[in-house]
Amino acid sequence: MASNHYEVIIVGLGAAGVAAASTLARAGRRVLALEAQGRVGGRVHSVPFGEGIVELGAEWVHGEEDNTVYEQAVKHNFPLVPQGVDLITYRSDGSKPDQDVQELINVLVEQQQCDEMELPDTPGRFGEHVANHVKQYIKEKKPELLDDEDFMEQMMDFINLLVNNHNASNDWNDVNALDKYTPLDGYLYLSWHKYGFKTFFDILLNTHNNGPGWPTLDIELNKEVTQIDWPQDYKDKVTVTCKDGSVYTAQSTIVTVSVGVLKERHTNLFKPKLPEVKINAIERISIGVMDKILLSFDEVWWPLDSAFVGFLWRGEDKKKVPKESFWTTRIFAASRPMGSKNVLTFWTSGEIGKLVEILPEDKVKRECRQLLQKFMGADIQVPEPSGIIRSTWFTNPYTRGSYTFDSVACAPYPNSRTDLAAPLTDSSGRPRVLFAGEATDETHFSTVHGAAETGYREASKLIRNSQI
């Protein structure tokens, strides 16, 4: 298409952008989708690694009921595989806890991972709430452990890391105990395994199995948007300018970039500047970091029946870790991705996740292997990894974080996500700049299905508008 004018321009091709673009294109609207990166997917990134495919971003489909991702997989005959969240913990001296303690840890981990903990009635620090729950549970099931100060410290540190990996937070007390996140019914950890999460995007864009795509949808990759000029006069158009100098116009645009990008760029990105209520929402919503380090091996060597291996650090062992290697004590666990059998994924978050993104690759690979060796014990020889890749969601200028969470800091401003989602309108009240993305979803933020639903939501608003 030669013309640079479209009915709608989509900025960003993550789950929200692809859902919006495909919905509008199916409805026959002439759409341009601009993506700053060289790929579709946003914070979903399926890559070949080891003997299959791994996920650098979103790992699982969370829930089955009313989940658009699950529904698309079923509709197109892609069998999603449930991944267990069972976990075997090892101690930093290479030993494993006795069976009773292991079972206790597994119950506490499952309660947290499956959102089964009863929440308080008022906002507060989630860490304090979880700590009280853990102590009460241990008091009921194995009260003698309460007198083991070192174990209790190990346990609290471990659950803290688990909470942070769940929320992409830096500390469990950064999270609001009364968050609005609502899990869907059905199994919460479903894997695309050998197909890769990218398949969801192929389905929506009608490109799976060499599909033709949508005839009224143009996609431009490596197109970084630098300015969105939105009109107050109903007769004027939205003008979108890119870093390479290209300029496009449209009746409306849907902005789907992460709130991390908005925090960094909103001042220069929008002309005129955003209303104060929108700026406040962007600044208040918390976006965190959840990062992965993936190591491949020439062969499967680990004698593990569980999906996860957790690392419990004894106090005396943690004190011996050199300062420059302290980040290894903040790795929550290692897991086996379902799409590549000879790979282990190491999970970290928060400020340590940001640090790991910029450490030398050889250092990260070497010290992750040493971490495994320390916890596996002398009876198991951990071989040299054959490869390493890692996520860089914070240093990536087009994401600046992994996903949002309801923080203690944002608790006094419960309408922030609604304010972020509100469109910018012209003098006639017509929506000209709309906002989608996981951060704009009140109850399903941090998920792919939540992000996609916001894309459908904003596209539907424009389809209902008879002027486009």
Span 264-285, pLDDT tens digits: 999 999 999 999 999 999 999 9
Nearest to 442 by CA among 450, 452, 434: 450
Mean pLDDT of 306-326: 93
Give the pLDDT confidence score for residue 1 in this predicted structure. Answer: 40
Average pLDDT, the chain: 94
pLDDT per residue as tens digits for the range 385-435: 999 999 999 999 999 999 999 999 999 999 999 999 999 999 999 999 999
pLDDT per position as a tens digit, 108-127: 888 777 667 777 778 899 99
**Total residue count of the chain as it appears in this document:** 468
H or E stretch at 252: strand 247-255
Residue-wise burial string across 129-141, b where 16 or more C-beta atoms lie within 10 A, e elsewhere: bbbebbeeebeee
With 80 as the cut, is the pLDDT of residue 306 above it? Answer: no
Cβ atoms of 295 and 369 within 8 Å: the answer is yes
Nearest to 109 by CA among 189, 229, 29: 189
Q: Which of the four pLDDT bands, split at 50, 70 and 90, describes residue 107?
A: confident
- The one-character DSSP state at 184 is P
pLDDT at residue 392, rounded to an integer: 98
| pLDDT of 105 | 85
What residues pair up with 288 in beta bridges, in sequence order? 403
Residues 417-430 as b/e (b if ≥16 CB within 10 A, e otherwise) read: bebbbbbbebeeeb
pLDDT at 154: 92
Question: pLDDT confidence of 467, banded at 50, 70, 90?
Answer: low
- The answer to whether the CB of 50 falls within 8 A of the CB of 30 is no
- Whose CA is closest to 294, among 92, 49, 125, 467? 49
Contact 116, 110 (CB under 8 A): yes
DSSP code for 95:
-
Mean pLDDT along residues 359-380: 96
Give Cα 93 to chain centroid, integer Å: 33
Whether 450 contacts 437, CB under 8 Å: no
What confidence tens digit (pLDDT) does each residue in 136-191 have? 989 999 999 999 999 999 999 999 999 999 999 999 999 999 889 999 999 999 99
Helix H segments across 92-148? Answer: 99-113, 126-141
User: When comparing pLDDT for 307 and 224, which is higher?
Assistant: 224
In this predicted structure, the answer to whether residue 2 has a pLDDT above a threshold of 50 is no
- 10 in Cβ contact with 34 (< 8 Å): yes
Burial category of 39 from C-beta neighbours within 10 Å (exposed 0-12, middle 13-18, buried 19 and up): middle
CA-to-CA separations, 215 to 40, 88, 218, 252, 392, in angstroms, rounded: 18, 51, 8, 19, 34
**CATH numbers and ranges of domains, the chain:** 5-79+191-287+398-464 (3.50.50.60), 87-184+290-390 (3.90.660.10)
307: confidence class by pLDDT, cuts 50, 70, 90: confident
Q: Where are the beta strands (DSSP E) in 426-465?
A: 431-435
What is the predicted pLDDT for the residue at 122?
80
Q: pLDDT per residue over 86-97, tens digit each?
A: 888 999 999 988
Whether the pLDDT of residue 17 is over 70: the answer is yes
**Residue pLDDT, tens place only, 29-87:** 999 999 999 999 999 999 999 999 999 999 999 999 999 999 999 999 999 999 988 88
Residue with tokens 């806890």: 97
